[in-house]
A = this chain, B = another copy of it.
């Protein structure tokens, strides 16, 4: 039996039309060297139409061609977020922080036809632009010396010149809600980056969810400081969710250092923010050092990596700002779990929920697959790789099937942890860092945390190394504190009171320092490589 409901597609043009009338007075503030510049959602609506006319008439964009951005967070990037999908083309946000080779690979793999670039990012783009094989047009946003771009043989345009005189409305076409709207590449540590293609449907549903009280709870009164870059997992969907809810936006552009962020908060009255943990560490140090306050900022969603609980409590106690821990990835649009404690939980109990990765909304189904691929129970004890399913979760990669990343239609996240019966996720390891020993998993992170709590240990990392009998066994690589002493036997004895006996490492090595990746994480791949190459002096107990 068919329902009688209208078959109205969920679309980004609908969202734009809605926001630019119902919330015509909501603001988008962009930070500049001289303070904020400000537009309204009505202006964003009109300029979005002008941009679409320019892309169509002047740059010849048709159908689902890809329009890339190489931009900070600012009003023009927001206009591009709406113009490109609403006209039926596909927005492709290039991550300016990737290696040049990766950026080139991505632009060519997506077959970008146009790149919009902030004037301040011209030097960075100029290094890679000659390798962009399909790009024909570069649109420069704001002021900047375009000379470095000119050798690449592309046509150069200026954003405001393109928009000038164009009509301020556009007859947005109809298309299927499952059509592509935007794409973003993830950069794994191995292999080429992989493309995730969002649909009108997925972005629309995700925007609704972001505004819901169980997620970010946004409404027209909010002023959202969007620090997470628009080239990173669609800025967590905040730009689209802002137009869905009417929340005003505060865009830091390239002014991402702590003093500039504090000034932006003061100038805009921002009451909500989203950023990765390192931003908050920097901000906390700055506030503590200067004695400045950020009284309007009441809530911040923090994700991208685990948030140190000390950071959460410092902001709460000293700055009356609540950090909300969240988990997601480019493949999940990215809203996954958000650590809102259950209603009624207070004190220590609430805290234990808040430091977890949180709970999923109805739109994201989650389960854990154990070492043998079988689903393990959500009992808060059983450990497995997190698998997720839902209308804003990717089911493939763009022109790169990679079936190993999927399990019966569920996305394998590569994150390992537990889920409680009431649905709270706690992540412990990346799947690739977990030690697979005799059909069971050993958490490297748990071993590391215990070792680093030993008074003689400065740093420690634990990796899985091949073992003929157990497949893998843990190798503990320890850096002792200056002047401290401890033997493998002593350290193993210490661990034996803390973890099951079968998890105790047999292999031990002492290092001068744990090798680190470019972003400061333990470089476990390097430790495994050194072990395999015989470069480490290993004691076997």
Contacts and interface: CB of A to CB of B under 8 A. Distances in A.
A145 interface: no
A395 B199 contact: no
A95 interface: no
Contacts of A411: 6
Interface in A186-217: 195-199, 201-202, 205, 208-209, 211-214, 217
Given A25-B342, A362-B18, A181 B3 contact: yes
Which DSSP category, helix, strand, loop or mixed, fits chain A's interface? loop
A530 interface: no
Interface stretch (A7-15, A128-136, A428-436): A7-15
Interface stretch (A98-106, A296-304, A386-394, A490-498): A386-394
Given A211-B212, A362-B18, A343 B246 contact: yes
A398 interface: yes
A90 B179 CA distance: 30
Interface stretch (A47-55, A218-226, A283-291, A318-326): A218-226
Contacts of A211: 212-214
Given A1-B197, A8-B391, A10-B391, A213 B208 contact: no
Given A180-B1, A365-B14, A214 B421 contact: no
A15 B360 CA distance: 12
Q: How many of these chains are in the complex?
A: 2
A2 interface: yes
A169 interface: no
A7 B179 contact: no
A5 B394 contact: yes
A395 B342 contact: no
A218 B213 contact: yes
Contacts of A3: 178-181, 197-199, 201-202
A245 B212 contact: yes
A293 to B, nearest CB: 23
A107 interface: no
Interface residues of A, number: 72
Nearest to A194: B4
Contact of A64 (B1, B5, B17, B22): B1
A246 B214 contact: yes
A347 interface: no
A6 B394 contact: yes
Interface in A1-59: 1-8, 10, 14-15, 17-19, 21-26
Interface in A63-97: 64, 90
Contacts of A390: 6, 8
A441 interface: no
B179 A393 contact: no
B5 A201 contact: yes
Contact of A4 (B17, B195, B209, B217): B195
Contacts of A19: 362
B22 A202 contact: no
Contacts of A365: 8, 14, 17-18
Nearest to A9: B391
Contact of A220 (B1, B21, B23, B214): B214
Interface string A397-434: 11000000000010100000000011100000000000
- Residue of A7, A179, A397 ringed by the most chain B CB atoms within 10 A: A7
Closest 3 CB pairs of A and B: A3-B199, A6-B395, A213-B219
13 contacts: A2-B180, A3-B198, A5-B202, A5-B392, A6-B390, A8-B390, A14-B362, A21-B378, A211-B214, A212-B245, A214-B219, A214-B245, A244-B362
